[in-house]
Amino acid sequence: MLQTVALSCSRGERHLFSDVSLTVMPGTLLAVMGENGSGKTSLLRMLSSLLSPNGGAILWEGKDIRQLKELYCAQLTYIGHLNGIKEDLTPIENLKVAACLAGDESSGAIVQKALEAVGLRQSAHRLPTRVLSQGQKRRVALARLWLSTRPLWLLDEPFTSLDAAATRYLTQRLQSHLSNGGMVVVATHQEVALPTDSVQHLRLTG
Amino acid sequence: MSRPSMCEALRGVVRRDLLLAMRRRSDVAMSVFFFVIVASLFPLGVGPEPAVLRMIAPGVLWVAALLACLLSLGRVFTADYLDGVLEQMLLIPQPLAVLVVGKVFAHWVISGLPVVLLSPLLGLQFGLGGDSLGVLTLSLLLGTPTLSVIGAIGAALTLGVRGGGLLVALLVLPLFIPVLIFGAGAVTSSLAGIGSEANLSLLGASFLLSLTFAPWATAVALRIALE
């Protein structure tokens, strides 16, 4: 269970949000919505422990994540706006490295399956990521979700540059993660097409 | 869920960086050629007098190696910072300092090791004899890793700063001074026929000392840069 208590955030002089208290239970997805610049990305970065809160605390299973440190990192998969992939490496190499570093299984067959699951054409698997389209790069980044066995997923605008098919694949993957007792926090502008009883909303007003 | 061992993560980082360097050979070649060209300019400028060349050789070769290292420092973290790989690296459930050691090691293999391997050849240009060539290579072998380890702090501190390249030089060059003194000193003393062990020991000691503290400082600087 992920919880925040009276979380507040300001970047430089700018005040983004304060007193955000939320609870994400296993099997639920929290959709963080709000205008551009309302602090969605900052909230996600705080939840991922990349950014330390200006006030309040973030609790994982009741313990402050600042104390848990690496133990907390081992519970989450974070996909930010930046894809976090190397343009000079092929999608397969990128995923293998990412999975190896994250401690997930990184055999060739599993990586290949993840890329197929996210709908990346076979012919693109062995090209340098540099020559792929934006949407294909995003798919490579998101393919990590098919390898991840972590309970908490933090996704920043995962649907940007995805086409209808890829959006569907991703939604299905989120659904299966939730039904396995996983937790998802997603910053998004669009409604996530999931059963309403598993989706909560948080609107940041800025 | 299996947690990877620290060594596995370390190996993963090194392997990725070396693979990337293989894909971008021109970047690697640049700092090596820089070293070769700078070191070769001196005999041309100073003239072919063997005694003079032998006298300036230790200093010139060491300064050239130091600048070549500086030239490649900007690449250690910048690309990873821009494409979001660094963000992911911070979230790997391993001590960040260990991953930093991996990146620094890869940086040394890419930019330091070629300099070490080429140095005997350049030493010949300056008329260094067999013993001194050996000491030169050994001093660079002990000294260049220190340059990479210390340089990484500067590279991490200037991440995302405009004009970072110049700032790295200002931050890091003063820290390189002891390495330069001991390294060039080792070669000079071997030329003078005095033992170079003392200088080489000091080089070794500074490497161990910097390896103990610098990765932690780099890790903290990276976390600050990404806030």
- SS3 labels along A173-193: HHHHHHHCCCEEEEECCCCCC
What percentage of chain A carries pLDDT values higher than 70? 100
| CB within 8 Å of A55: residues ≥ 6 apart | A6, A7, A8, A18
Average pLDDT score over residue span A173-199: 89
Q: How far is A115 from chain B (nearest CA, A)?
A: 19
For B24, the closest of A74, A88, A149 (CB atoms) is: A88
Would the pLDDT of B63 be above 70? yes
B117 token code pair:
């391997």
Can you give the pLDDT at residue B113?
95
Give me the amino acid identity at B77. F
User: How many residues belong to chain B?
Assistant: 227
CA B202 – CA B179 distance, rounded (Å) = 9
CA A50 – CA B197 distance, rounded (Å) = 46
Angle B149-B176-B76 from CA coordinates, rounded to 5°: 35
Can you give the pLDDT at residue B2?
47
What percentage of chain B carries pLDDT values higher than 90? 71
Cβ–Cβ under 8 Å, residues A11 and A42: yes
CB-CB neighbors (< 8 A) of B93 in chain A: 70-71, 73-74, 103
For A149, the closest of B1, B19, B24 (CB atoms) is: B1
B17 token code pair:
């960086």
B45 token code pair:
């400028």
Asked if B83 lies within 8 A of A76 by C-beta distance, the reply is: no
Cβ–Cβ under 8 Å, residues B222 and B156: yes
CA nearest to A73, candidates A151, A155, A20: A151
Q: Which of B1, B81, B88 to mutate to test the interface with A (most CBs of A within 10 A)?
A: B88
C-alpha pair distances (Å), A87 with each of A92, B23, B29, B69, B102:
12, 10, 20, 24, 20
> Residue A27 — very low, low, confident or very high, per pLDDT cuts 50/70/90?
very high
**DSSP code of A14?**
E
Cβ–Cβ under 8 Å, residues B117 and B175: no
> Residue B47 — very low, low, confident or very high, per pLDDT cuts 50/70/90?
confident
CA B105 – CA B10 distance, rounded (Å) = 10
Q: At what angle do helices B197-226 and B96-107 cross, to 10 degrees?
A: 120
Q: How far is B129 from chain A (nearest CA, A)?
A: 43
Task: Name the average pLDDT for chain B.
Answer: 91
C-alpha pair distances (Å), B56 with each of A35, A68, B50, B140:
64, 55, 10, 16
Can you give the pLDDT at residue A206?
61
Can you give the pLDDT at residue B4?
58
Asked if B88 lies within 8 A of A76 by C-beta distance, the reply is: no
B154 token code pair:
């500067």
Q: What is the model's pTM? A: 0.91
Asked if B226 lies within 8 A of A50 by C-beta distance, the reply is: yes
